[in-house]
Every structure is written in structure tokens, then in C-alpha cells.
Amino acid sequence: MILQKTLAKSPRLEAWMELLELASGLFLLGFLQFHLFNVSSIILGPAYFDHDHNWMVYTGIPLVVLAIGVHGVVAMRKAPWQFQEARIFLQHSKRLAHLDTWAWLVQIITGFLVLILAAIHIFSVLHNWPIEAVKSTARVQGGYFSFLMLLLLVAEIHAMVGLYRIMVKWSWYKRQKFTPYLVYSTMFFVGLGFITLLVFYFRSLPKGLS
Amino acid sequence: MAERLLTFDIFRYNPATPEIPPRMQEFQLEETVGMSLFIALNRIREEQDPSLMFDFVCRAAVCGSCGMLINGRPGLACKTLTQDLGEKITLMPLPVFKLVGDLSVDTGVWFRYLNVRTEAWIHTDQVFDPKGLEERMDNPTAHRIYEAERCIECGCCIGACATANMREDFIGAAFLNRIARFLIDPRDERPAAHIFEVVGTDEGVFGCIGLMACDDLCPMEIPLQGQLAYVRRKMALVALRGK
């Protein structure tokens, strides 16, 4: 027995951390795709986009910010923080040349990018409250197109690789069976987001707002 | 078959002679029909360098002693044919385990320690009656136990695991598979909560990040993804029920 390790050991807490990572991850995945569908309503026209959704936003944004914080903290607990650990992981990944192992590095990098980009995104939207088709159009045309495209890509990749990992870790299905469906879904969501951004980019704005 | 001249790039280090630093050494060998790495390594030792250390016992993927990194990936040298590899073959010892020398590692101590730590045996209060009839088990259960029991403890899943490489105390797929075997077995009277104390932790199943190199590289093709998920669900249920 080693005193400090035995005293610090708590299987229950360690299990709950894992479940918290799972639950917050699933919640954020649901939110991301729901958010994407909502925003893509601009494809049908501004009338579909500009409806009163404030009640949803006022409860939703604090919840999402909280979930991002919780998920960030619990997911980061396993990252190779120490320099030596990071080197071991990179050398191991190179030797192994194994896609799933590299995917973890993708998760860590996209996770960090989402943290930074989502913070900027939420701030820029709150700064110019409320959400309206005209304002969103002005934002996309005013230099945010590539920023939002990058956020869309890293968020979707992080979310879908995360979903893959969840299904690998918890489900009854062999990963070879569900992987193609996850790839198609990722392509669908990224495609939908890209079309949405294009619609925003090429919409004509009333004078004085461009 | 066109004869190829194979180049072996082999990791060399003998802990008994620490003054000679670890290094890679090249050997060349003419390929023969149906040559396995077992044959190749034995020929190198017999014809070129009698000091080369590596482990073999059964030559038939049963004993699990010849696990090594073949071109960076864990595998059994006896089961790997040179015809499936390129002309240049890199061989290194399995990581995580203690190096005995060159390609030989000590998997025994590691497995023995975890066998004791996870108490990998049937826990029962029933007294064995050597004259009584054997208790029956239904066929699907027996099959599921047998699936887990096929593990030969070669250590390839451990060498392939990023978590095991980074964290010394992680018990790895071999042991989570072993745990699955006892969770399935109706003769083991241990409550899941008892196993939870050792396995429902970051050294156990919750330390696994699901990179599935174990599942992809297990030489016995044990369905480790399913075995790990089974243990994970069982342990999560214990945590949720709070007992």
C-alpha cells in the first residue's frame, strides 16, 4: 500500500467523471446539430430564421457554456499533459501508424480549438444581441465566413469522432458496422453548414448594414 | 517466388552490459519459402550473431512468448510471415514490459501481478465435491467464457495501448478481458461491486480511452471492443446504483 495513493483513490468519483464526460459530450453533440439545423433555416428564407426563439436562447446559452466548461475539464483529465507523456504518445502513434490512435490527437487539438473559437463565437453573437437574419448576414459578410467555416469543421469533427468513441466504448455494436454511417453523417452536417454559410454570404443586405 | 534479400533492423540492448547503449543493428538474410520471423530470427542467431536475444516456445501462436514490435506494430513473430512484409523489417521489443534483452521482455511478472491484484480466479463458498456431478452451464455462457479464455497473454494489446504506454498502472485490455470472463461466469459469486473497487477506476476500465489498437492488433482476434464495453457498462451500473 502507498498511503497518498490509497487515500486519494475513489473508484466512485472516477466512474462519475467518465459518466459526466459521456453525458456532457452527448448533450453538446445534440446541441451542435440542433443549432446547425436552426441556423440552416436561413436557406428557406429570413422569415423562417427570424422567429421568436429568445426563451430557448436565454436558457440554452448558459447551459451550453456550462456544458462546454464541464466537458472541457473532465475530458482534459486524460490528456498527456506532461511533456514526457506527450512524447510517449506521439512516438507511440508514429510507430503504430494506427488511425484510431491518431484520432485521439485530433480530438485533443479540435477540442482546444472549439474552446477558443466557440468562446469568440458566443461573445460576438451576444455582443450584437439579439440574433437576426440581417445581423448574422452582416457578420458572415463582414469577415466571419472563414472563421465560422473553421468552427463548423472543428466542431463537427470533434463531435462526430467523439460520438464514434462513445459508441466504441459503450455500445453493443462493432465499430466496423457503424463507422460508415458516422462518416456520411459528418459529411451531411458539414455540407449543410457550408451551404448555410454560402446563403448568408450571398444574401443581399439592406443598404447601410454591409 | 523471386528470392529476396531481407534486411532486418533489430533493437539491441543488454541490461547486463549497460556500458553499450541501446542501438539498432542491421542483419541481412535471404528469404526462403514460407519463412516466418521465428525462422528468420533463429537463422540470424545461428549464422550471424549468437548473442541475439528473443523468446520462443511453441512456434504456433499458443504460448504467447514471441510478441514484439514488427515494423512498429505488436504481433507474434511465429505467426508473421516475411512474405507479408517489405524487404526491410524493423523489430523492437514490446513496450511497457521490462526488457530482458534485445527482443525479449518479461511479460510474466506483469501478468502475475495483475492476476493477483484482480484476484483472477473463481470466488465461491461452495465446497468442491470430487465425486458429485459437475454443474451444468448453458452453451451461450460457456461460449462467451471461452471467447475470453482464448487470450494467450502475449502482451500485444498492452504494447499497442497508448494508455498503457503512458501510464504504468493501467491494467489494459488483457486484464479487462479477464475481468469480463469472471463477470460472465455464474460460478464466480463475487458481487460486481467487489470487482468495481479495482476495475471501476482510472487504472481500470475508466482509464481506457477507446483507441482500439488492442482490438485491431490482438493476434488471437479476441473481440476486445465488445469485452471492454461489457466491463465498462457493468462498472458504470455499479457506480449508478451506488452499491
Backbone angles phi, psi at A192, to 5 degrees: -60, -45
Asked whether B4 and B87 are in contact (CB, 8 A), the reply is: yes
Give the closest residue to B217 by CA, choosing from B158, B148, B157: B157
- CATH number of the domain where residue B95 is located: 3.10.20.30
- Shortest CB distance from A14 goes to which of B95, B202, B242? B202
For A123: left if phi > 0, alpha if psi spans -120 to 50, otherwise beta; the answer is alpha
CB atoms within 10 A of CB B53: 16
3-state secondary structure of B189: coil
Residue A103 CB partners (closer than 8 Å, separation 6+):
A161, A164, A165, B211
CB B64 within 8 A of CB B154: yes
Residue-wise DSSP of chain A: --HHHHHH--HHHHHHHHHHHHHHHHHHHHHHHHHHHHHGGGGT-HHHHSS--HHHHHHHHHHHHHHHHHHHHHHHTTS--SHHHHHHHHHHHHHHT-HHHHHHHHHHHHHHHHHHHHHHHHHHHHHT-S--HHHHHHHIIIIIHHHHHHHHHHHHHHHHHHHHHHHHHH-SS-HHHHHHHHHHHHHHHHHHHHHHHHHHHHSPPPTT--
Chain B residues closer than 8 Å to A11 by CB: 196-198, 200-201, 204, 239
3-state secondary structure B67-114: EEEECCEEEECCCCEHHHCCCEEEEECCCCCEEEECCEEEHHHHHHHH
- Residue count of chain B, please give it: 243
Residue A13, min C-alpha distance to chain B (Å): 8
Quick one: what percent of chain A has pLDDT higher than 70? 97
Per-residue pLDDT at A60:
85
Residue in B with minimal Cα distance to A12:
B239
Whether the bond between A62 and the residue before it is cis, its omega within 30 degrees of 0, is no
Minimum CA–CA partner of B156 in chain A: A96
Domain that holds residue B98: 5-105
- Taking domain A18-202, whether its CATH number is 3.50.50.60 is answered by no
Q: Tell me, yes or no, whether B99 and B128 share the same domain.
A: no
Question: For position A210, what pLDDT does the model report?
Answer: 47
Give the CA radius of gyration of chain B: 21
Across the interface, of A92, A168, A170, the residue whose CB is closest to B162 is: A92
B64 & B127 share domain: no
Q: Which residues, listed in sequence order, are joined to residue B36 by a DSSP beta bridge?
A: B81
Instruction: Give the pLDDT confidence score for residue B243 in this predicted structure.
Output: 61
Residue B52, domain member (yes or no): yes
| Inside any domain, residue B111 | no
Is B226 an 8 Å CB contact of chain A? Answer: yes
Tell which of B91, B202, B215, B235 to mutate to test the A interface (max A CBs under 10 Å).
B202
* pLDDT for res B80: 97
Domain termination site, one of B48, B81, B105 = B105
Distances (CA, A) of B21 to A66, A192, B13, B17, B48: 52, 57, 7, 8, 20
DSSP annotation of B136 reads P
* In contact, A209 and A142? CB cutoff 8 Å: no
Contact B231, B180 (CB under 8 A): yes
The pLDDT of residue B1 is: 56
The predicted pLDDT at position A134 comes to 80
Domain presence at residue B165: yes
* B166: contact with A, CB 8 A cutoff: yes
Domain match, B140 and B41 both: no
Q: Which chain B residue shows the shortest CA-CA distance from A100? A: B211
| Spatial CA neighbour of A18 closest among B207, B142, B36, B63 | B207
Backbone angles phi, psi at B75, to 5 degrees: -170, 170
The pLDDT assigned to B181 comes to: 94
Is B11:B99 a contact under the CB 8 Å cutoff?
no
> Which residue is closest to B236 within chain A, CA to CA?
A15
Residues 184-203 of B with CB under 8 A from A: 196-198, 200-202
A74: pLDDT strictly greater than 90: yes
- B78 located within any domain: yes
One domain, residues B123 and B79: no
B127: CATH = 1.10.1060.10
CB half-sphere exposure, B123, CA atoms < 13 A: 14
CB contact under 8 A, A14 and B200: yes
Confidence of residue A135 (pLDDT cuts 50, 70, 90): confident
CA–CA gap between residue A29 and residue A33 (Å, rounded): 6
Q: How confident is the model at residue A114 (pLDDT cuts 50, 70, 90)?
A: very high
Task: Say whether residue B2 is in contact with chain A using an 8 A CB cutoff.
Answer: no
Q: How far is A11 from chain B (nearest CA, A)?
A: 5
- Answer yes or no: do B212 and A17 touch at CB < 8 A: no
Q: Mean of the per-residue pLDDT values for chain A?
A: 90
Number of domains in chain B: 2
pTM recorded for the entire structure:
0.92
d(CA B215, CA B177): 11
Residue B96 CA to residue B112 CA, distance in Å, equals: 15
For B165, the grid coordinates are 504506454
User: Does B122 lie in the same domain as B101?
Assistant: no
Find the range with the poorest average confidence among A1-15, A45-59, A124-138, B5-19. A45-59
Residues 6+ apart with CB under 8 A from A82: none
Q: Does residue B190 share a domain with residue B140?
A: yes
For the ranges A135-149, A178-192, B104-118, the one whose mean pLDDT is highest: A178-192
Q: Mark which of B81, B105, B129 sits at the end of a domain.
A: B105
What does R_g of chain A's alpha carbons equal in angstroms?
A: 20
Count how many residues are written for chain A. 210
Q: Are B229 and A172 within 8 A, CB to CB? A: yes
Q: Do B239 and A170 touch (CB under 8 A)?
A: no
DSSP state, B207? Answer: G
B24/B50 same-domain check: yes
Using alpha carbons, select from B64, B95, B89 the residue that is nearest to residue B10.
Answer: B89
Mean pLDDT check: name the lowest of A20-34, A127-141, A147-161, B217-231.
A127-141
Same domain, B135 and B43: no
- Asked if residue A109 lies in contact with residue A76, where contact means CB atoms within 8 angstroms, the answer is no
Residue ranges per structural domain of chain A: 18-202
CB contact under 8 A, A103 and B211: yes
Check residue A208 and give its pLDDT. Answer: 56
Q: Are residues B101 and B67 in the same domain?
A: yes
Q: Point out the residues of chain B with pLDDT beneath 50.
A: none
Q: Do B229 and A171 touch (CB under 8 A)?
A: yes
Contact yes or no for B239 and A101 at CB 8 A: no
Q: Which of B92, B176, B211, B214 to probe the A interface (max A CBs under 10 A)? A: B211
Residue B41 domain flag: yes
When CB atoms are compared, the residue of B198, B202, B213 closest to A101 is: B213
Chain B residue numbers touching A175 (CB-CB < 8 A): 212, 225
Query: How far apart are the CA of A101 and the nearest CA of chain B, in angstroms?
Result: 5
